Chains A and B, each alone.
Chain A
Amino acid sequence: MVIRSTRTLAALFGALTLAGCGTQEGNAAGGEGEGGVIKRSTPQLVVFVYDRSTSISHHQLELARQLTNDRIRKLDHGDRIAAHQLLQLSLEEPPQRWSETVPQRQFTEQAMMRDSVTRARFLRDAQDYLVAFTDTTGRGNIDGTDILSTLHDVGADLRAAPGREVTLYIFSDMLQSNRTIDMEGLTRMPPPGWVERETVNRTLPDLSGLCVYVIGARVDTRQSQHVKDFWQEYFEATGAIFESGNYTLRPVELPEHPCT
């Protein structure tokens, strides 16, 4: 009887010890399953890029905010979230970007109310914080839309989060507009072979593994198709995954895994 009691206590100690020894990697991206059992999956890196230029209408920004909130709600423990506002002219500008990781589970794979509260609170705070990226006011001083330079910052995020499934959501009309390239009305489109030349020159960012999802770009005109072609060629050149169906104007929701 004494031996049995000792075994019970030892089991309790062992459980407590294991609970205290839980690592962040082990708990990363744990998903809550039925019965409190965690279903492990690859942690994600979700990058939101917002275009607040005056060419973006208010309702489009409002849609961006709603879609962002919906997508953020699907983030799990250990997922990383990053947000960028498109640069206006070049990389020389100070970037407006933010990134955080959804807090890990504290101990084990076991579903805990406290972790759920923490995650919910974090996601709510993230939604609130990202409101600033979809703010419709104060856009008068924005002089351009430099998507190409911003993608360099996205590439930096990608390199900072190895081993994650990375998805890029770009809330923009995808019209590059700075001193060298101005796609509005196809005024100064990149010349043919520009992508190849930049690739040779290694001036393009490495976006390997990045799944790109575009919201706000039109595909209903010849000009917009031309722009889309350019971006398709560009992303393919950078190693990103760009599917034609992920180039949208006003989607109902953001897919969690758009490239699978």
Chain B
Amino acid sequence: MDEKGKMSARNREARAAAFQPDTQPLTEPGAGEGAPTDGDSHPTWLDRVREAAAPEPDEPRWTPEPVGSSDSLWDATDTVEPAPLPDLSVEVEPPDPTVPDPGALPETAEAALEETVGLSVRRLRKAAIEMANRDAEADLPEVQATGRAESEAELRDRAVSLFRNWQARERARLNSVVGELEGRITRTLGGISLDNDRFERVTSELFRLKRRWDMNRTVVENTLEEETSEEQDQPETRQFKTRWYALAIGFLGIVEFLANAPVFGALLPRDPLTEQQLRYVAETSEGWLAGGMRVASQFILRPDAALLAAGVVTFLCVLAHFFGHSLRSLMMHQSARRTGETLGKRSAGEFVVPMILSGIGLVLVIGVLFEARVTLGEVAVDRFVQDSAKIEELRRTASWLRVDGNLVAANEQANRADDLEALAKEQREYAASMSSLSFPILLLNTTLILVAISAAYFHMRDRRRDRFNDTPFERQRRELVDLGDATQQRVADAMGDAVRAIRDLASLLSEAPLREAPALASQLEATVVAYRAENGRLRSLDTREIKAFAEPVELHLAVEERDMRDLLMRDPEDYEAERRELQEGFEKTRVRFTEEATAW
């Protein structure tokens, strides 16, 4: 094996040794972790930028795994055999975060971003030391040999590759952060612009609404003023005049009385003399007044039934009157409450309570009448059976009297039997018809009561005066004001977000991109220097005596000009100018909005 071959073999060994996981690293193990483990560490400005830029979730995070095929950083430049797979059976002592790493890079603001790079540098240095050991054992490079040593050349290649890789990734990362920020700013400013337009529309609509309100109010108030001048003497009006109301209620009462009085007459006990007198009036009445006299005689000669029916009808009318008035009062109270007017100390309960009581009373009275009609059928059947027995007895007695020659008494008994039979049949037929007509009469009663309630409702004196109803306009105004306020709040929040995002972008770009490049280049050059120094030290030679080390250690890792150029599509000042323009438009609209909203 020649010298070149020996060096290659030693280099491979050195690389393998350098990549062993149990090998003591040159720097502090804890410093190689992907995230700072020190709980007391505070986020740097770059962390905030990262958060603001919302890093892509698929961006791989570095993990402290042994260098191998998964380490893309080294794989990208490694021209030798791939590193062996890590031995998972060997337990690795977790690094103690409390022990400072003397070889770690200083914890600067850039350190967080350079963690992966720092670890790679440390491992590169370790590999350089190992290479130096191997080469020293093999006494390479020869002192007099010129040209760059094979290990150093490989070390240089790796350093350059590492630098280029770092540069590319850093550039991509910065581009991503800036892109995210610009996108956010653009979205925020666009949203502000849209909200400004919406705010402008709301303000204009508010202005038009006020114009409509003014116009309608003027027209209505002029009309009302003309009507009011005609009704100066009658400030409180009734929709249903008292005389017509009394006439309607009286007529309804008569109808109700006629519909229900016969029921009570049939239910109450009958008096034979009364029946005789009724029959007399019925037979003697003639002419145009005959019908009226017959009907009147029914009520006059049966005062009990008439009074009972009149009482019920009175109850109905009074209850309907109070119900209608209470309902109207309640409606007026609710209307006044909706329009914001005050009614002193009155409450809705003052009208609800009598309305409920009168309503219950009406239901009870109607129920009593309905039940009376239904009961009338059963009562009539029972009475007819009893009357039939009486009729039979009377006729039997009449027969005996007739045989005895007492014809007058017999006649009287026969008359009574005939009267009773006629009355029983009449009552039975009336009861049957009434019983079958219970529901229709219930509907009739209900209708009459509803009519009475309606009459009372419209008879109620309305103390309110007609006026312009601005409630719909007020409601629309409130909706517009609420919408405008919400838009204002949204614009204000978006303005704050935009200011912060623009400031973040400006802060990010105020720092020179890739400004850590010289430091990284120095560290990489230091690995070559370390190789030379270690090699000389182990061979007890001055590195200056080795001609192969005479070449200056310069890796020429300067950042290219194109990479140093501005990353922005637009200048943050442009964003700020646009934001200010939106702010000014918003302020103008806001002033208009405030004027329109408070000018009612």
Contact = CB atoms under 8 A, between A and B. Distances in A.
A51 to B, nearest CB: 20
Nearest to A108: B284
B297 A125 contact: no
B405 interface: yes
B297 A16 contact: yes
A69 B406 CA distance: 18
B411 A121 contact: yes
Nearest to B419: A114
A101 interface: yes
A125 B415 CA distance: 13
Given A16-B281, A112-B283, A128-B402, A100 B414 contact: no
A113 interface: yes
A19 B280 contact: yes
B171 interface: no
Interface string A83-113: 0000000000000001011010011101011
Contacts of B411: 103, 118, 121-122, 125
Nearest to A101: B408
A interface residue count range (under 10 / 10 to 19 / 20 to 34 / 35 or more): 20 to 34
A16 B402 contact: no
Interface residues of B, number: 24
Contact of A19 (B284, B296, B418): B284
Given A12-B293, A117-B418, A125 B280 contact: no
A126 B406 CA distance: 10
B280 A12 contact: no
Contacts of A128: 402
B277 A20 contact: yes
Contacts of A20: 277
Interface string A17-44: 0011000000000000000100000000
Given A100-B405, A103-B408, A118 B280 contact: no
A112 B278 CA distance: 13
B407 A125 contact: yes
A96 B399 CA distance: 21
A20 B280 CA distance: 9
Contacts of B279: 114
A194 interface: no
A148 B277 CA distance: 49
Contacts of A98: 405
Contacts of B109: none
Interface in A128-142: 128-129
Most buried by A among B293, B408, B418: B408
B285 to A, nearest CB: 9
A112 B408 contact: no
Contacts of A118: 411, 415
Given A12-B297, A12-B300, A117-B415, 6 more contacts: A16-B277, A16-B297, A98-B405, A114-B415, A121-B414, A126-B407
16 contacts: A9-B296, A12-B296, A16-B277, A16-B297, A19-B280, A19-B281, A36-B286, A101-B408, A103-B412, A106-B276, A112-B280, A118-B415, A122-B407, A122-B408, A125-B402, A125-B410
